């Protein structure tokens, strides 16, 4: 490997220049607003973006936004941006999220997400994680029932068979 002194610019082997083109949102613009092109934007902290079935799904606070690549339009797919309160299973806007910290695609028309909640134990805040499942065809959001609460999973991966893996307080567990 090559070492570089702190503050020195590392040299990269770049074989071309890649152009960025705006797909969604407006830089530093408060929202959220559904629509097309630069007329639509996100509500604030934008998290993971995943591709599945011709669309890009984006975690936007307490909602999942869908960008249809064929029409370049964005809609709120699940959740309500102003209501990050609790975990409620439902379809589309009737579903509620606390705080989506990671969104992944199972590649089979199913999205999985890690939803963070905070509890108070002995006067101290304690973050916990819940794994949720979103069916793309119907927009149905369901909570995976686990035999115990996750000690805030900080990562989520899904294999081709629908098995989820997450960090549970320093241990990797399979769901």
CB 60 within 8 A of CB 84: no
- Mean pLDDT in runs of 10 for the chain (175 residues)? 54 67 59 58 67 85 86 85 77 89 86 78 64 92 81 76 80 82
CA-to-CA distance for 67 and 135, rounded, in angstroms? 16
pLDDT value, residue 165: 85
pLDDT value, residue 90: 94
Tell me, letter by letter, the H, E, C secondary structure of 56-120: EEEEECCEEEEEECCCCEEEEEEECCCCECCCECEEHHHCEECCEEEEEECCCCEEEEEEEEEEE
Percent of the chain with pLDDT over 90: 11
Per-residue model confidence as pLDDT tens digits over 23-42? 665 555 555 556 555 556 56
CA-to-CA distance for 74 and 49, rounded, in angstroms? 13
pLDDT value, residue 122: 57
Per-residue model confidence as pLDDT tens digits over 56-85? 898 887 889 888 888 878 888 998 876 567
- β-pairing, 73-79 with 35-36? antiparallel
pLDDT value, residue 135: 94
């Amino acid at each position: 490997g090559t070492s570089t002194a702190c503050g020195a610019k590392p040299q990269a082997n770049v074989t071309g220049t890649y152009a960025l083109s705006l797909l969604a949102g407006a830089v530093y613009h408060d929202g959220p607003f559904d629509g097309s092109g630069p007329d639509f934007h996100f509500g604030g902290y934008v998290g993971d973006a995943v591709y599945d079935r011709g669309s890009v799904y984006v975690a936007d606070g307490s909602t999942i936004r869908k960008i249809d690549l064929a029409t370049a339009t964005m809609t709120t797919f699940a959740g309500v941006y102003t209501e990050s309160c609790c975990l409620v299973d439902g379809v589309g806007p009737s579903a509620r999220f606390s705080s989506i910290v990671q969104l992944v695609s199972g590649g089979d028309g199913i999205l999985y997400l890690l939803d963070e909640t905070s509890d108070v134990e002995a006067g101290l805040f304690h973050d916990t994680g819940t794994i949720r499942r979103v069916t793309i065809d119907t927009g149905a959001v369901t909570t995976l029932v686990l035999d115990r609460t996750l000690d805030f999973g900080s990562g989520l991966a899904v294999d081709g068979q629908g098995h989820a893996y997450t960090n549970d307080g320093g241990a990797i567990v399979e769901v």
